[in-house]
Chain A
Amino acid sequence: MDMAIAPPDLEPASTRPGLFRTRLLPYALVIPSVAVIGGILAFPLGMLIWLSLQHYGLRELIQHQGDWVGLGNYGAILVDPLFHQVIVRTLLFTFACVALTVVLSTLVALLLQRVSRVVRVIVMSSLVFVWATPVIVSVDIWQWMFDYEFGIINYLLTQLHVGNFIHHNWFDNPLQGWSVLVVVVVWGAIPFVTITVFAGLLQVPSDLVDAAQVDGAGPWQSFRYVTAPMLKPIFLIVICLSTIWDFGVFNQPYVLLNQRPSADYYTIAIYSYRESFGVTQYGLGASIAVLMVIVLVIVTLFYVRETLKVAEIQ
């Protein structure tokens, strides 16, 4: 009898901690990070969505009470022709910046593999310097370089007989102005991508490249069929991150154009800021920000999926 009773007594004693250990412990361990992520990501995002569903102007801000308008803000934004222009412009700008950044950075990274140690140290430290310069400081310097009256770019181009660039205004023509902006943004983006791709290149076994060359592959072919496929995960991550950063660009156009960019120079982030803080329509600004997140998710979905696939295979 004792024996028969004993097992039920023992069973809870042995399975309870086991249940805790196998089922609840992982959740308990995950709680702190979920709380932190919830606090710093989910809560503000939730607030943003909540704000985007209200008419929230200055009066509402002062009284801490908005008027519920449902999807009214979204309706107003989606029919605004300026919004369409801004979205298309931001996407084109993002595409140009990401493409240039990745191509140029890969070229620099490949170069780094071939140069002597001394040159490599010099190039690497220059890259780190660029990376370490605060954006506002570097954009201010760029602004002086492209200045209408005192800019060194105008002076140099004139001295080099490229043309008469005295009093040339780089921001008169938006296409030219955006080209300057692409230069400034790509310049700032190259260091991170170069260093990341270079780190990836170090992982490519040199005997594979050697073998390809022995088999008669030229430099382009060995890059195309040996190196690039091995770097695919790195390229995916770098493209994904660059897209997110360049799509949300704000500082460069805002500072370069003296904090008062004209509508020709609105990116989606500047447009959202203008509606919120310029015209004091916080609800409208919030809905632009939400749409910006949605567009970004659609654009990056492909890369995120590919990245996950690669991660699963590995």
Chain B
Amino acid sequence: MRLRKPWVTVASVAVALIAAACGGSSSETNNPSSQTGTLTVWLMNGSAPQTVIDEVNADFKVKYPNVTVKVEIQQWGDIGTKLDTAFGGSTPPDVVELGNTLVAKYAAAGALEDITGKKTSFDNASTWLQSLTDSCTQNGKLYCVPYYAGSRAIIYRKDFFASAGVTPPDSLDSLLTAGQKLMAAHSSDPNFSALYFPGKYWYAALPFVWDFGGDIATQSGGKWQGSLNSSSAQQGLTTLSTLVSSLSRADKTGDEAKQDAAFAQGHVAMIIANGWEVGVILDPKAGNPALKDQLGAFPIPSHNAGQSAPVFLGGSDLGIAAKSKHVDLANAWVQMLTGNKHMAEMATVGGVIPNNTSMLNLGTGINTTFYNAAKNSKFVPNSQNWAGVENANVLPDMLVKIFTKQQSIPDATKAASDRITTILNGGG
């Protein structure tokens, strides 16, 4: 009889423990050290330096000693297909880094956890970069946490500028003039480009559209209307087309993947690039470290002298899968990565633009230009169907048609606008 009671207790404790273990992060077990399970995290290639990931995981291990974190690095190339498949399955990764243009699609499809109620649990939530916060927001609800941003400026060769007698231009007109002088100074080099601009580089084409007051699409009454054929957008593209035809010998049907290598080879005076591309240019294997002191940067100038054009704010957000079995753990891990300590490392070690305006003073040297560019930035239409526009290559195709003169600017922009209208409003 006496023996029986402890037995019952042991059994009930065991049942409770098993229940707790199965529940993983149930509210009964708030004690972090009793949490168990495996947290799967997908980060994109080149986002966080390995040292930062290791430190986040070490800090996480201190708080949750019995939780295993598996960080898997994904490639950008086929990520859309891979994410579709993962979210379609029953065990998607718990935490997913998403390009900021992709979030809307997955949020609308119900793939991401609504974290509106937890917003204040993240550091700097009140000063998150507006464009990134917008990319995470749908119908007033928050579906992801801003992670980091990237904005473009023009990287140039100081020595080429000096020998051609030009200074960083402060308007689009003077950009053309400076470029023409550079072309003249290097007329003996058949491979020289004053401004190397590959035909499909749509991220770099958008500032020209925006600078003249144009936009990709506008929304009214819940309906999207493509607007690249507006006269202001066409004006921007005409200016860009002139720059490309007189200053660029880059492949008019190619993309920007090779531009850093081309710049490092020494036949290029300017490229429109992200801040981190400086590292690629100076890379001892793929680039040319000798250019270290010859690199400078200036913002993409506006057609209004003295101002700069709005740039596309690229970047990534961190989402939590709605099907995740460890939502609270996932949340805790994202809190750590985007917390003050590690966000500052992302900026100083990783060289990316941090997710909040309070840290924008962390940019030093050449990075300052890129950090400042983020302050005057714009974003693609915030629609769940935007990813369809990207995947259907609408903008790159339009640019190629314009630069190769296969279509006139009015025709090419009209065709692109119509396609954008269809896709954004939910048609294939």
A residues near B (Cβ < 8 Å) are 57-59, 61-64, 76, 148-149, 166-167, 169, 171-172, 258-260, 262-263, 274-275, 277-281, 284
B87 touches A58 (CB 8 A): yes
| With known contacts A63-B110, A260-B200, A279-B423, A169–B251 Cβ distance under 8 A | yes
- In the complex, chain B residues whose CB is within 8 Å of the CB of A149: 191, 251, 258, 262
Contact of B393 among A61, A63, A169, A260 (CB under 8 A): A260
Once the chains are docked, how many angstroms separate the CA of A263 from the CA of B398? 11
Smallest distance from the beta carbon of A283 to chain B beta carbons, Å?
10
* Nearest B-chain residue to A167, judged by Cβ: B249
A167-B190, A279-B391, A284-B428 given; name 10 further pairs at CB < 8 Å: A57-B109, A61-B109, A149-B251, A166-B190, A172-B252, A262-B253, A262-B396, A263-B397, A280-B105, A281-B428
B255 touches A58 (CB 8 A): no
- In the complex, chain B residues whose CB is within 8 Å of the CB of A258: 254-255, 257
Smallest distance from the beta carbon of A257 to chain B beta carbons, Å?
8
A62 touches B109 (CB 8 A): yes
| With known contacts A169-B251, A278-B388, A260–B396 Cβ distance under 8 A | yes
Question: Is B246 part of the contact surface with A, judged by Cβ < 8 Å?
Answer: no
- In the complex, chain B residues whose CB is within 8 Å of the CB of A262: 253, 393, 396-397, 400
Chain A interface mostly: loop
* Nearest B-chain residue to A259, judged by Cβ: B77
* 8 smallest beta-carbon distances between A and B, as pairs: A278-B391, A58-B109, A148-B251, A61-B88, A59-B109, A279-B388, A262-B397, A277-B81
Smallest distance from the beta carbon of B398 to chain A beta carbons, Å?
10
Q: How many residues of B contact A (CB 8 A)?
A: 38
Q: List 16 A-B contacts (CB under 8 A).
A: A58-B106, A59-B108, A61-B84, A61-B109, A62-B87, A166-B190, A169-B251, A172-B406, A258-B254, A259-B78, A263-B397, A274-B391, A277-B81, A278-B391, A279-B391, A280-B387
Smallest distance from the beta carbon of B405 to chain A beta carbons, Å?
9
Residues of B163-212 whose CB lies within 8 A of A: 190-191, 200
A62 touches B88 (CB 8 A): yes
Question: Is B80 part of the contact surface with A, judged by Cβ < 8 Å?
Answer: yes
Once the chains are docked, how many angstroms separate the CA of A76 from the CA of B252? 33
* Nearest A-chain residue to B267, judged by Cβ: A149
Once the chains are docked, how many angstroms separate the CA of A274 from the CA of B81? 10
- In the complex, chain B residues whose CB is within 8 Å of the CB of A277: 80-81, 84, 391
Once the chains are docked, how many angstroms separate the CA of A257 from the CA of B387? 20
The winner among A76, A149, A166 for most chain B CB atoms within 10 A is A149
A171 touches B253 (CB 8 A): yes
Once the chains are docked, how many angstroms separate the CA of A235 from the CA of B428? 41
Once the chains are docked, how many angstroms separate the CA of A279 from the CA of B388? 5
A58 touches B111 (CB 8 A): yes
B200 touches A169 (CB 8 A): no
Once the chains are docked, how many angstroms separate the CA of A281 from the CA of B391? 12
Smallest distance from the beta carbon of B139 to chain A beta carbons, Å?
15
- In the complex, chain B residues whose CB is within 8 Å of the CB of A279: 388, 391-392, 423, 428
- In the complex, chain A residues whose CB is within 8 Å of the CB of B254: 148, 258
B251 touches A59 (CB 8 A): no
The winner among B80, B81, B84, B406 for most chain A CB atoms within 10 A is B84
* Nearest B-chain residue to A277, judged by Cβ: B81
* Nearest B-chain residue to A282, judged by Cβ: B84
B105 touches A58 (CB 8 A): yes
| With known contacts A148-B254, A149-B262, A280–B392 Cβ distance under 8 A | no
Once the chains are docked, how many angstroms separate the CA of A259 from the CA of B81? 13
Question: Is B364 part of the contact surface with A, judged by Cβ < 8 Å?
Answer: no
- In the complex, chain A residues whose CB is within 8 Å of the CB of B84: 58, 61, 277, 280
Contact of B404 among A62, A63, A172, A278 (CB under 8 A): A172
Once the chains are docked, how many angstroms separate the CA of A71 from the CA of B368? 57
Smallest distance from the beta carbon of B37 to chain A beta carbons, Å?
22
Smallest distance from the beta carbon of A100 to chain B beta carbons, Å?
25
Once the chains are docked, how many angstroms separate the CA of A172 from the CA of B253? 7
- In the complex, chain A residues whose CB is within 8 Å of the CB of B396: 260, 262
Contact of B428 among A61, A166, A260, A275 (CB under 8 A): A275
Once the chains are docked, how many angstroms separate the CA of A64 from the CA of B87? 11
- In the complex, chain A residues whose CB is within 8 Å of the CB of B404: 169, 172
Smallest distance from the beta carbon of A163 to chain B beta carbons, Å?
15
B190 touches A76 (CB 8 A): no
Once the chains are docked, how many angstroms separate the CA of A180 from the CA of B242? 30
* Nearest A-chain residue to B108, judged by Cβ: A59
Smallest distance from the beta carbon of A301 to chain B beta carbons, Å?
30
- In the complex, chain A residues whose CB is within 8 Å of the CB of B191: 149, 167
* Nearest B-chain residue to A77, judged by Cβ: B428
Residues of B243-272 whose CB lies within 8 A of A: 249, 251-255, 257-258, 262
Smallest distance from the beta carbon of B399 to chain A beta carbons, Å?
10
* Nearest B-chain residue to A58, judged by Cβ: B109
A280 touches B88 (CB 8 A): no
Once the chains are docked, how many angstroms separate the CA of A258 from the CA of B200? 11
Residues of B371-428 whose CB lies within 8 A of A: 387-388, 391-393, 396-397, 400, 404, 406, 423, 428
- In the complex, chain B residues whose CB is within 8 Å of the CB of A260: 200, 255, 393, 396
- In the complex, chain A residues whose CB is within 8 Å of the CB of B108: 59
Encoded as 1 (CB less than 8 Å from any A CB) or 0, chain B from 213 to 247 comes to: 00000000000000000000000000000000000
Once the chains are docked, how many angstroms separate the CA of A58 from the CA of B112? 12
| With known contacts A62-B88, A172-B404, A278–B80 Cβ distance under 8 A | yes
- In the complex, chain B residues whose CB is within 8 Å of the CB of A58: 84, 87-88, 105-106, 109, 111
- In the complex, chain A residues whose CB is within 8 Å of the CB of B109: 57-59, 61-62
Encoded as 1 (CB less than 8 Å from any A CB) or 0, chain B from 74 to 114 comes to: 00011011001001100000000000000001101111000
Once the chains are docked, how many angstroms separate the CA of A277 from the CA of B396? 18
Smallest distance from the beta carbon of A72 to chain B beta carbons, Å?
12
Once the chains are docked, how many angstroms separate the CA of A278 from the CA of B388? 6
* Nearest A-chain residue to B253, judged by Cβ: A171
- In the complex, chain A residues whose CB is within 8 Å of the CB of B88: 58, 61-62, 64
Contact of A169 among B110, B253, B323 (CB under 8 A): B253
- In the complex, chain A residues whose CB is within 8 Å of the CB of B77: 259
* Nearest B-chain residue to A61, judged by Cβ: B88
- In the complex, chain B residues whose CB is within 8 Å of the CB of A171: 253
* Nearest B-chain residue to A258, judged by Cβ: B255
The winner among A63, A171, A277, A279 for most chain B CB atoms within 10 A is A279
Smallest distance from the beta carbon of A270 to chain B beta carbons, Å?
11
Once the chains are docked, how many angstroms separate the CA of A57 from the CA of B106? 11
B388 touches A61 (CB 8 A): no
* Nearest B-chain residue to A283, judged by Cβ: B428
Smallest distance from the beta carbon of A165 to chain B beta carbons, Å?
12
| With known contacts A148-B254, A167-B249, A169-B251, A274–B392 Cβ distance under 8 A | yes
Once the chains are docked, how many angstroms separate the CA of A279 from the CA of B87? 16
